[in-house]
């Protein structure tokens, strides 16, 4: 939506958007910051993917919700608005992408955002004074602020990191600062509604005569002309899609932009004949552009959860299990836009290895068994291992059921009596790599998603340190004041982790943060690339991929601010390239 909205600012450019899901931009389930888990597993909102069994993680399938609606996963995400580091983006340049550096991308982060300062009370309670307003966008479409409804645990969060000597040392928006802090969320503070791609980019543009959005349009493949373009590249002429079982073709005069996300973009390319010759032949698909890199290089953030019992009197998401409580909260939100459904968590800690007490951990240096392109990625990760964030620590103020790794409906709640608090420790820069590939030429058959979690042994080593650090945080005041036994009494099913049992526990209960990336990597072709540094698919004259699948290397933190930034940049380049061609 970001690209379409920007391009149609020019009345001479017409854009048609094909979206498989429906428009839910007026739906409380999407707009309420506290209701997002209600959408998981529901086919009206969520593709509800699962990985193939993960052989390094107890053979489990891992759930992968993805937004199936206008605005995609920005409509179902947790509203965390956090940022990549400078090094993360500079790495993309180092890997061979010209004109990619933090300095060059920074204006586009700003372009997408309107930061809205909270009240003086919120600033003090949530310790938001770290914000440097000049670093933020102040007039972009996505509204971004702090939750103004929160409890004592939220207030305790930044103070706990302060007591541990690892409070945030600046505004992480600068791509440098590290430490524990309360992050912003993408919410309109006036009405307490999610601000996301559909409300922020689509709605203001929806009346333009040069923008047409077709919802319920399931793209089956991209169409190519059977002749070559000017530069010897294949021409994309449009797409075929189906609506309610009827198929249609739509023509594109200038460009086709594929933004179906890290799971569907490689799937659509392969269905269209772009991918590995062997795989396409096996599935009876004619090869249009041969490229073995399509669908490879899958990366994801995984995390380990640890659950605690809270002291009596602390309200948590567990209270929603009480029907009366939920109905009252729902009524209050619908009527006044306030109450427990008008808010969400915002507790982050971006921490380096020395900050979590693992300064002695040695990052891998021998990449002899890796391909040259992967070795280049590993080299950058290892060089910066001790200065970059190794983890993002965050919280869910409520119980989780980590045994339901493959079922998000059950994962974010418990059947237990009581109130709980869950700490999550995310592995920020994984070394494991996987893939997404079609299993059939039938577009309705989901692709095989295989992130190969923990296939690189270093990931387990690092995640173990992260899990042990979470326990230290939980035992530290003032957070520990709100946890039973000062952070030593676990939710049933969890137990004290130590050097001896932590690895087994992680293999069993690791979860995805639902951040798949990298499957149509922006890299030089010979280094594993699918698109070039201007998003153009290799071997084609006029097809670009613009979504998280082009990230060549996983950044720290949550992905959405980076997805908006690259989409803003892509729109500029599409306009620029169009002008050059005239």
Q: Give the residue ranges of the annotated binding site for FAD.
A: 219
Residue 181 or 385 with smaller CB distance to ligand FAD: 181
**What residue number has its CB nearest to ligand FAD?**
72
Which residue among 200, 558, 566, 570 contacts ligand FAD (CB under 6 A)?
A: 558
Residue 259 or 382 with smaller CB distance to ligand FAD: 259
Structure tokens at 49: 């993917």
Which residue among 77, 90, 193, 377 contacts ligand FAD (CB under 6 A)?
A: 77
List, in sequence order, every residue forming a beta bridge with 144; answer none if it has no partner: 115
> One symbol per residue from 425 to 464: x for binding ligand FAD (CB under 6 A), - otherwise; what is it?
----------------------------------------
Closest CA to 266 of 245, 247, 280, 278: 280
Strands 63-64 and 234-243: unpaired
* Candidate segments 49-57, 123-131, 148-156, 552-560, binder of ligand FAD by CB under 6 A: 552-560
Least CB distance to ligand FAD at residue 66 (A): 5
The reply to whether 556 sits near ligand FAD by the rule CB under 6 A is no
**Cβ–Cβ < 8 Å for 78, 36:** yes
Q: What CA–CA distances, in Å, run from 196 to 46, 70, 76?
A: 16, 10, 9
Per DSSP, 538 falls in state T
Q: Residues 224-233: contacts with CB within 8 Å, 24+ apart? A: 224/272, 224/273, 224/288, 224/540, 229/540, 229/541, 229/542, 230/541, 231/541, 233/539, 233/540, 233/541
State the burial class of residue 189 (Cβ atoms within 10 Å of its Cβ: 0-12, 13-18, 19+): buried
Residue 237 or 549 with smaller CB distance to ligand FAD: 549
| CA distance between the termini of the chain | 25
Which residue among 76, 153, 274, 466 contacts ligand FAD (CB under 6 A)?
A: 76
> One symbol per residue from 489 to 528: x for binding ligand FAD (CB under 6 A), - otherwise; what is it?
-------------------------xx-------------
Q: How many helices (H) and strands (E) in the chain? A: 15, 25
List, in sequence order, every residue forming a beta bridge with 63; answer none if it has no partner: 50
DSSP character string of 410-448:
HHT--SSSS-EEEEEEEESS----BEEE-SSS-TTSPPE
Least CB distance to ligand FAD at residue 248 (A): 12
Residue 32 or 259 with smaller CB distance to ligand FAD: 259
Residue 153 or 257 with smaller CB distance to ligand FAD: 257
Structure tokens at 316: 């948590």
How far is residue 324's CA from residue 75's CA, in Å, rounded to a whole number? 27
Which residue among 5, 31, 79, 126 contacts ligand FAD (CB under 6 A)?
A: 79
How far is residue 395's CA from residue 470's CA, in Å, rounded to a whole number? 10
Q: What CA–CA distances, in Å, run from 145 to 307, 334, 441?
A: 28, 21, 44
Contacts of 258 (CB under 8 A, 6+ apart): 222, 265, 268, 269, 537, 543, 544, 545, 546, 547
The reply to whether 83 sits near ligand FAD by the rule CB under 6 A is no
The reply to whether 67 sits near ligand FAD by the rule CB under 6 A is yes
* Candidate segments 227-235, 280-288, 458-466, 553-561, binder of ligand FAD by CB under 6 A: 553-561
Which residue among 89, 252, 346, 559 contacts ligand FAD (CB under 6 A)?
A: 559
Least CB distance to ligand FAD at residue 198 (A): 9
* Candidate segments 74-82, 116-124, 414-422, 467-475, binder of ligand FAD by CB under 6 A: 74-82
- Count of alpha carbons within 13 angstroms of residue 510, beta-carbon side: 33
Bond preceding residue 161 cis, omega within 30 of 0: no
> One symbol per residue from 245 to 264: x for binding ligand FAD (CB under 6 A), - otherwise; what is it?
--------------xxxx-x
- Considering all CA atoms of the chain, what is the largest pairwise distance in Å, rounded to the nearest integer? 71
The reply to whether 560 sits near ligand FAD by the rule CB under 6 A is yes
Residue 563 or 565 with smaller CB distance to ligand FAD: 563
Least CB distance to ligand FAD at residue 316 (A): 19
Contacts of 514 (CB under 8 A, 6+ apart): 64, 65, 66, 73, 77, 300
Structure tokens at 465: 């340190």
Site for ligand FAD in 265-324 (CB under 6 A): 268
Closest CA to 160 of 421, 383, 500: 421
The reply to whether 19 sits near ligand FAD by the rule CB under 6 A is yes
Residue 264 or 419 with smaller CB distance to ligand FAD: 264
User: Strand, helix or coil at 95?
Assistant: coil
Residue 363 or 563 with smaller CB distance to ligand FAD: 563
How far is residue 198's CA from residue 75's CA, in Å, rounded to a whole number? 8
Q: What are phi and psi of 354, to 5 degrees?
A: -60, -35
* Candidate segments 103-111, 215-223, 418-426, 486-494, binder of ligand FAD by CB under 6 A: 215-223
* Candidate segments 13-21, 27-35, 83-91, 315-323, binder of ligand FAD by CB under 6 A: 13-21
Residue 261 or 451 with smaller CB distance to ligand FAD: 261
Which residue among 48, 74, 184, 195 contacts ligand FAD (CB under 6 A)?
A: 74
Which residue among 45, 49, 78, 224 contacts ligand FAD (CB under 6 A)?
A: 78
Number of residues that bind ligand FAD (CB under 6 A): 34
The reply to whether 219 sits near ligand FAD by the rule CB under 6 A is yes
The reply to whether 6 sits near ligand FAD by the rule CB under 6 A is no
Least CB distance to ligand FAD at residue 395 (A): 13
Residue 265 or 382 with smaller CB distance to ligand FAD: 265
Which residue among 49, 218, 412, 420 contacts ligand FAD (CB under 6 A)?
A: 218
Residue 74 or 97 with smaller CB distance to ligand FAD: 74
* Candidate segments 68-76, 86-94, 111-119, 574-582, binder of ligand FAD by CB under 6 A: 68-76
Binding site for ligand FAD (CB under 6 A): 18-21, 65-68, 72-74, 76-80, 217-219, 259-262, 264, 268, 514-515, 547-548, 558-561, 563
């Amino acid at each position: 939506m970001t690209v379409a909205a920007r391009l149609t600012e020019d009345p001479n450019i017409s854009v048609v958007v094909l979206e498989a899901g429906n428009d839910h931009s007026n739906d409380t389930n999407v707009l309420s910051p506290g209701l997002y888990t209600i959408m998981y597993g529901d086919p009206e909102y969520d593709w509800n993917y699962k990985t193939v069994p993960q052989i390094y993680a107890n053979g489990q399938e891992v759930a992968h919700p993805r937004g199936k609606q206008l605005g995609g996963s920005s409509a179902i995400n947790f509203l965390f608005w956090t940022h990549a580091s400078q090094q993360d983006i500079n790495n993309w340049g180092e890997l061979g992408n010209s004109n990619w550096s933090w300095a060059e991308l920074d204006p586009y982060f700003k372009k997408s955002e309107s930061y809205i300062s909270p009240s003086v009370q919120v600033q003090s309670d949530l310790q938001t004074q770290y914000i440097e307003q000049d670093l933020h966008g102040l007039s972009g479409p996505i509204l971004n602020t702090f939750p103004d409804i929160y409890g004592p645990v939220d207030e305790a969060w930044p103070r706990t990191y302060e007591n541990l000597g690892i409070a945030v040392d600046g505004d992480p928006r600068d791509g440098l600062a590290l430490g524990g802090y309360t992050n912003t969320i993408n919410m309109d503070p006036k009405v307490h509604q999610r601000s996301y791609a559909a409300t922020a980019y689509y709605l203001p543009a929806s009346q333009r005569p040069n923008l047409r959005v077709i919802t319920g349009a399931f793209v089956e493949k991209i169409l190519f002309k059977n002749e070559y373009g000017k530069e010897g590249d294949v021409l994309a002429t449009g797409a075929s899609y189906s609506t309610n079982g009827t198929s249609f073709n739509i023509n594109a005069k200038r460009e086709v932009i594929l933004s179906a996300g890290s799971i569907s973009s490689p799937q659509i390319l392969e269905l269209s004949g772009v991918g590995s010759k062997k795989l396409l032949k096996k599935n009876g698909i004619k090869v249009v552009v041969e490229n073995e890199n399509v669908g490879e290089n899958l990366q994801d953030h995984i995390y380990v959860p640890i659950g605690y019992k809270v002291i009596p009197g602390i309200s948590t998401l567990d209270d929603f299990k009480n029907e009366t409580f939920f109905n009252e909260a729902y009524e209050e939100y619908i009527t006044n836009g306030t109450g427990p459904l008008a808010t969400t968590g915002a507790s982050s800690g971006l921490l380096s290895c020395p900050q979590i007490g693992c300064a002695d951990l040695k990052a891998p240096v021998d990449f002899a068994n890796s391909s040259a392109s992967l070795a280049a990625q590993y080299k950058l990760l290892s060089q910066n291992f001790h200065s970059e964030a190794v983890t993002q620590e965050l919280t869910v103020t409520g119980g989780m059921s980590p045994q339901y790794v493959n079922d998000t409906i059950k994962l974010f709640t418990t059947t237990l009596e009581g109130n709980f608090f869950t700490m999550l420790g995310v592995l920020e820069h994984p070394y494991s790599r996987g893939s997404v590939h079609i299993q059939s030429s039938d577009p309705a058959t989901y692709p095989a998603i295989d992130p190969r979690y923990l296939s690189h042994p270093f990931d387990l080593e690092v995640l173990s340190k992260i899990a042990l650090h979470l326990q230290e945080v939980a035992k530290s005041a003032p957070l520990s004041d709100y946890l039973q036994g000062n952070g030593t009494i676990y939710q049933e099913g969890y137990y004290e982790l130590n050097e001896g049992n932590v690895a087994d526990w992680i293999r069993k209960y690791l979860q995805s943060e639902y951040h798949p990336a990298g499957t149509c990597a922006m890299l030089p072709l010979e280094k594993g690339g699918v698109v070039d540094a201007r998003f153009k698919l290799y071997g084609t004259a006029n097809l670009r991929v613009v979504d998280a699948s082009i990230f060549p290397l996983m950044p720290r933190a949550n992905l959405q601010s980076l997805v908006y930034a690259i989409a803003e940049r892509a729109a500029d380049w599409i306009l620029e390239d169009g002008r050059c061609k005239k």
